[in-house]
Structure 1
């Protein structure tokens, strides 16, 4: 382990505890920048110690002694120190922005990777809650990890330097000045758990509000169809009112915890001022020394408050850390594995059923190159069953799926999903161009390859007529396209994968029958040796010449509280019609 990694490990453990090990690489990469900013900050702090001493010299050796030459000398020195301090402050600010922003970007990238790598066996979190964590919680961690280290280092330096100057000026008053520290520590130790509780409440509230907003914006077309925009908007008021109440409660508490140490510090400072003033009146202490002492005491107030504040800020940062750790924890990640060995695309399902499947466990052998229709009533678990082959769903206990003789549970999920291409009914497209969406499947695909796949899905002629070709703009979620166009683009994208097995899960449900039949014929002609699984309740997809038709049957052991098997009432209605 390198020196930088060791330092990062110690810093993370002291700031957040042993459970924050996932944060160590981020901090290690940020340490050089933090060190540089800290060095410039300490340089500025060292310069900041000079003005009070120069002021003392100007008063005692210039004004009081009546020495004009000394007056000019120390006044000039103060001006020069001020210019240098100003320049170093500007440099420090720019460096701070550069390296703190880089750390935040690194942390967000790390967290986005963790979110994208979440195991399919875990429940999917709400989008708004994920966004709140990627945005707000990462910023909270970055501020504490970056600024906290800087504040701690700079504050300790200023306190040590200031304390040394205080004791050099008058050790008895210096002892009096330090009396506020233990009192403040006792109070903040009492207040810290309450600070953490209030931070948890506010973070949870922000996540709930963010989720509501994301869901509302995503569901705008549905709200418009129902004419329910106003009704939905009314639900925002209680959410915002609750968040505002929590924010006010937290702010009151933070103001209290900030005010108490300030009052204690002010009382001690007043006592120092009176005691020092009496010494000046008695002629036992120079006036310049008292002024310098008060200046150094004032300079130490900020660093002391920073250190005490870090103690409280750590409680809030730990709340954010716990929320991020839910994603970053290694147990939440998708289990890895080896790349699948080359094979023709045979599948075997053994006692297979999704965790929420309602059908009898399936024992099924699909030979390479076969065309299979998976049938059964809605909601029984057909989509989940085929998703098991690509590790896109959580299996029930004892369920196993094999691709060309290899248990998919031990295979690398990314490589597996390129071998078993699943095209769901709801096609998800991303803001950008058509080419960018297609190249998600094959970043190195040539334009010729893209056009060939578009020919197979019947989109090539449409694109030529529009005159935009592969540069066709696609808005968020592909809302500028029809449902059938989105489905065809999703199929096109899947055809660019090096798949052995192609799963079409209600993929052509929004494509007209002649076009759907043409697409299926093109796929079969282009990939005659590939294994194809089809789920379709209606349309041309059910008319293919299948090698197998597998019908899932409801498990009678999984009955509702009314004694009905899954889909029993639905089947009864269908039979009645």
Structure 2
């Protein structure tokens, strides 16, 4: 049976983090052995010292105090240092692995088929990138747990064997019963609750993200009540599941405590024929053995959440990102249905709202699936080209400008990470936005807020246009680039865009309902909807000269 994509990725990261993980495992083994030996020796020492004191002055003076006390101190120091090393190395390996997994997950999401990728909401994507990946962290952090548990249990059995074979066998039996019982209880109680919590938390985050994005509309229409009720319902469901999980943990803790008490009683009874100090040592070793195995039992509790997170992550990770391909030609020709567009051509897509003009642009970019014959790039049908093969040929300014919560510079450099400040200012100038940015407190380094909220709608649209102009692509795709602009600003944007296209020889495919930008194009294609199966527009072209 082949491994899931997440299992392969986790295995890859385990190989890369082998050094820290080995150190963490060794340190965990030292912690387990030292902790058990420390408590057992302490019990033996206290009991032996008490009996020696009760036996009289001569016996007390003959009792060796220095060696056991020095050993106890050594074990305490060793346990502290090893525990620090285990936490440091184990969590460092886990965090490094998560830092590698998240970009891979994001790349897989971007490589998913358009229909699937566009169906993932922002809240759901955030939940998977943060919450689900955090659940995977347990796979790394608990890798050292078996080593610590094994060393602790082994030391406990060795110490109990000093009091006899039967006490040692009793501890071994108690550990086996503890693990079997913990596994059964977690499968029945904790694992379902953990999986449900993982899903409920994701739903709550998704709803919060959706309602936060629609906050102005909710306020304007007085619809905060239903939104708050929905959030409250999801929150109550999550709280109820957490209570259920807490009860399951309580039952597990109760069973562990009862088993510990029973194990101590049985070990004491079996070790009675030995001396009292050895019996105390064996009893405390039983306590430490069950405590050493506790991390394994607690790991069983996390299996439900980890498995649920793994299933959701596998659904995305199965889409392997492909290497970014270059356009087949420096300036590839474009063909839209029966219309051939040589490099540098300018075409306007017109038609009524909802006819599929934006869909056509998204098909060119590989954001939506294109039917056979819808378009061709350099003679090859677009339906046969991957998004990685299509996107280098196009720069895109969408109708709804998407801006990051970052600076002007960061938003612009999405299109050209290596762009110089001179290139950034030139693009802003061609988008008629340079003067506005210069007036900002920190210029290019001004923080724009969430989704560019510190800019007006028209300014966000022009920043998106400047970003598209920065991309060195043969074709420029613009969707309503001047919507929301006043006439003077629109005329300035159109004039500067015309000058830039003449200078660069870049081709243009434009969607607009406004007359001014349509004057940029020498040809137009009227997109009229024939049918829209499965949410996709199918159109037929009507080719005519563009109207000024």
Give TM-score scaled by structure 2 length.
0.86
Q: How does 1:97-108 map to 2 (within 5 A)?
A: 97-108=91-102
**Structure 2 match to 1:153:** 147
Q: CA deviation at 1:160?
A: 1.9
2:511 paired with 1:535: yes
2:306 paired with 1:317: yes
**Structure 2 match to 1:205:** 200
Q: How does 1:309-458 map to 2 (within 5 A)?
A: 309-329=298-318, 332-334=319-321, 336=323, 338-349=325-336, 362-396=337-371, 398-399=372-373, 401-408=375-382, 413-414=387-388, 416-458=390-432
Structure 1: gaps spanning 5 or more residues: 1-9, 350-361, 568-577
2:291 paired with 1:297: no
- Deviation per residue, 1:484-511 (Å, 9 max, x gap): 1111111111111111111111121112
The separation in 1 between residues aligned to 2:261 and 2:152, in whole angstroms, is 19
Selected match of 1:247 from 232, 238, 242:
242
Equivalent position SS for 2:115: coil
The separation in 2 between residues aligned to 1:212 and 1:258, in whole angstroms, is 34
The separation in 1 between residues aligned to 2:320 and 2:238, in whole angstroms, is 31
1:434 to 1:202, Cα distance in 2 relative to 1, 3 A = same
Equivalent position SS for 2:451: helix
Equivalent position SS for 1:507: coil
Q: CA deviation at 1:58?
A: 6.9
- Deviation per residue, 1:1-54 (Å, 9 max, x gap): xxxxxxxxx9xx9xx878621322222222221211222232333333443246
Q: How does 1:102-181 map to 2 (within 5 A)?
A: 102-122=96-116, 123-143=118-138, 145-181=139-175
Moved more, 36-45 or 191-200: 191-200
Give TM-score scaled by structure 1 length.
0.82
1:149 to 1:437, Cα distance in 2 relative to 1, 3 A = same
Q: CA deviation at 1:181?
A: 4.1
Q: CA deviation at 1:388?
A: 1.4
- Deviation per residue, 1:423-477 (Å, 9 max, x gap): 1111112233222221221122222222222221112233345575323331121
Equivalent position SS for 1:532: strand
Q: CA deviation at 1:550?
A: 1.3
CA contact (8 A) 2:13 2:97 kept: yes
**Structure 1 match to 2:44:** 56
Q: CA deviation at 1:59?
A: 4.9
Equivalent position SS for 1:402: strand
The separation in 2 between residues aligned to 1:238 and 1:108, in whole angstroms, is 30
The separation in 2 between residues aligned to 1:518 and 1:88, in whole angstroms, is 68
- Deviation per residue, 1:335-373 (Å, 9 max, x gap): 556422223242124xxxxxxxxxxxx444323222111
CA contact (8 A) 1:391 1:409 kept: no
Structure 2: gaps spanning 5 or more residues: 53-58, 540-548
Q: CA deviation at 1:139?
A: 1.6
The separation in 2 between residues aligned to 1:209 and 1:315, in whole angstroms, is 19
CA contact (8 A) 2:267 2:286 kept: no
Equivalent position SS for 1:178: helix
1:524 to 1:310, Cα distance in 2 relative to 1, 3 A = same
2:40 paired with 1:46: no
Moved more, 49-58 or 151-160: 49-58
The separation in 2 between residues aligned to 1:392 and 1:487, in whole angstroms, is 20
**Structure 2 match to 1:354:** none
Equivalent position SS for 2:530: coil
Equivalent position SS for 1:555: strand
**Structure 2 match to 1:32:** 19
Moved more, 232-241 or 207-216: 232-241
Equivalent position SS for 2:120: coil
1:447 to 1:61, Cα distance in 2 relative to 1, 3 A = closer
The separation in 2 between residues aligned to 1:566 and 1:390, in whole angstroms, is 17
CA contact (8 A) 1:107 1:142 kept: no
The separation in 2 between residues aligned to 1:414 and 1:459, in whole angstroms, is 31
Equivalent position SS for 2:365: coil
**Structure 1 match to 2:75:** 81
1:467 to 1:415, Cα distance in 2 relative to 1, 3 A = farther
CA contact (8 A) 1:424 1:504 kept: yes
CA contact (8 A) 2:480 2:510 kept: yes
CA contact (8 A) 1:501 1:533 kept: yes
- Deviation per residue, 1:127-174 (Å, 9 max, x gap): 22222222222122112x122211111111211222222224211122
CA contact (8 A) 2:43 2:277 kept: yes
The separation in 2 between residues aligned to 1:288 and 1:333, in whole angstroms, is 62
CA contact (8 A) 1:425 1:508 kept: no
CA contact (8 A) 2:163 2:274 kept: no
